[in-house]
Amino acid sequence: MQIDEWLGRLRPGRSASPRARQALLGFALAAFVIMTIVAVVRFPDDLQIAPRWWLLAIVGIAGPLVTVSLNAAEFVQQGRLVGRRIAWRDAARVSVLGTAANLAPLPGSVIVRTAALTEDEVGAKRAAGTTATVGLAWLGAGAATAGALQPFAGRAWLGALLVPVGVGLLGLTLLLVRRAAPADGIGTLFGAIVAVEVGTVVVGAMRLTGIIYGLGLDVSTSQALGLTLAGIVASATGVFPAGLGIREGLIAAASPVLEVPVAVGVVAAAADRLAGLAMLAVLTTVLMRHQPSPPATSPPGSPG
């Protein structure tokens, strides 16, 4: 399926009016800008930023690329849920396009992935269900992974809260996989989905860690995972484009709980988002210019 065909399926349908969507996008962008500016202005005086530009450059380039690869691996698993084998290259295309579509004030990634999976033998409802399945696994992996490390940082109460939630979400994921996958492949498929989502969570934490270290500041693994979980919850809301504004707001709310200065959490989240957007622009441009050409067809009545 061509990229322009996927784009053709991104129709508002019964969603909000264009004016409402534009207003939502404007509000989200304003919230992001205001929170970022306030965080910079109120940055603690006792924390001196000493940028390591080489580290920021590596994280800003490698982080989004690895995330795209993991998102592609996730889409491959979605294909397995509906009995389709998806080549990694095609999965990467869907991953990039879905992330780009998420910038619109609608669940663009869900629409793109559903459109890419939907064929005559795969209904839209079943295809959309695979996105819900991996989404639950992502939330579950984030909660369980972040919660497992909190007791080692003196926040046992937070671990006792997050781990059961994570395990419960992963259990629900297993039930959904059992309903969709062949009986003889349930364990393997569920394990692959969980492995991909744990990897996505860890890479997200590494991106934040790298940015904070790149600014010359410190953060622990448990803190980075906690901030990452806040970002996952924001993305899962599907209200604002790509969780814009909500992600930064939830990270600001989670920072005191994780004993991270609020300004540090918000600045790191904003820098991570800007780096991701820059790489997304590059990848989208490359894919749009190198998408496969449709096969040539002869006009009716012309010789074969």
Domain ranges of the chain: 53-289
Residue 239's pLDDT is 62
* 40-51 residue pLDDT tens: 998 888 888 888
CA distance 221 to 230: 14
* 228-284 residue pLDDT tens: 999 999 887 766 667 888 899 999 999 999 999 999 999 999 999 999 999 988 988
Q: What is the mean pLDDT of residues 292-299?
A: 45
pLDDT confidence bin for 33, thresholds 50/70/90: very high
Output the pTM of the full model. 0.86
pLDDT confidence bin for 2, thresholds 50/70/90: very low
Locate all alpha helices (DSSP H) within 215-257, ordered by sequence.
221-237, 246-257
pLDDT confidence bin for 102, thresholds 50/70/90: confident
Which residues on neighbouring strands pair with residue 122, listed in sequence order?
119
List C-alpha distances in Å: 96 to 76, 141, 214, 275: 14, 22, 26, 15
pLDDT confidence bin for 12, thresholds 50/70/90: very low
Where is average pLDDT lowest: 75-89, 155-169, 204-218? 75-89
Nearest to 134 by CA among 276, 236, 246: 236
The chain-wide mean pLDDT, for the chain, equals 84
